[in-house]
Amino acid sequence: MDPTTLIGMALALGALLATMLLEGASPLAIILLPPLVLVIGATIGAAMAGSTMSDMRQVNRWLRMALTPETIPPITDRIATLVDLAGRARREGLLALDRHVSSIADPFLRNGLRLAIDGVDPEHLRAVLEADIAARRSDDKVAAMFFARMGGYAPTIGIIGTVVGLIHVLANLENTATIGPLIASAFVATLWGVLSANVFWLPMSARITRTTQLRSAQLELLLTGIAEIQAGTSPRAMRQRLTALLPPDEARRAAAA
């Protein structure tokens, strides 16, 4: 599990609370049930309105993807695995890999190697694996867009909450002693709308997008490795080929490994 998202959110909320304390305000002043119910409930409802029931059945999985995504294996480990498989294929033959496939944890790599061992045409193998990558990327994009929509709706819904609060203030102008607290309470809805968008929903969308980019890059590297194993590429040439696909910093780390 990668806790970076949770740490970032905690840091942002901590900065808000520290600012309020430094200014002499009570953090409890923003913990008001009516604006919280409106902003969170209406934001979720608006996002649902633009989705399908099939989408909503995946919300729990999307939350896990955004808040506690699985740690992506180091790229050097991926390359080491592919180089080792290439060496075995060169020494023992491609069919000899069949007894090692079941021990491979990654389903994408396992499926690709099985296709290669079965003698699938290289172009067909690449087309199947590219379609798999595209399907995964498309599925993750739906999750990222859901939270991005929530980030777009929340500030506007917060303003609506403030307008509702100000209507209540105008209806009670005769009681001057309560005007100040009522106005302050009204603006809490705007605060939560902007806060939830920029501390929760948009970062969650960005995290899913970033995780998708990293996973897609690794899957494309695995695809290249599987194709090279099928072609009988030597382990040394395999390492050079895969290292050339990496950004400069990662390439240096992979070369040093």
CA distance 189 to 139: 33
Report pLDDT for 220: 92
Report pLDDT for 48: 94
Name the H helices within the chain. Answer: 4-22, 33-49, 53-56, 59-67, 75-92, 98-101, 107-117, 122-170, 176-195, 202-231, 235-243, 248-256
CA distance 120 to 92: 19
Structure tokens at 215: 């996973």
- Domain layout of the chain by residue ranges: 33-52+72-257
Question: Would you give the end-to-end CA distance of the chain in angstroms?
Answer: 24
Hey, is 119 helix, strand or coil?
coil
User: What does each of the 257 residues of the chain score in pLDDT, given as a tens digit?
Assistant: 788 899 999 999 999 999 989 988 888 888 888 899 999 999 999 999 999 999 999 999 999 999 988 778 888 888 888 888 888 888 888 887 888 888 888 899 999 999 988 888 889 999 999 999 999 999 999 999 999 999 999 999 999 999 988 887 777 767 766 677 778 788 899 999 999 999 999 999 999 999 999 899 899 999 999 998 888 888 888 888 888 877 776 666 656 55
Report pLDDT for 253: 65
CA distance 219 to 30: 45
Residues in the chain: 257
Report pLDDT for 89: 84
Element (H, E) at 232: none
CA distance 59 to 50: 14
Hey, is 23 helix, strand or coil?
coil
Radius of gyration from C-alpha coordinates of the chain: 26
Report pLDDT for 257: 57
CA distance 203 to 222: 28
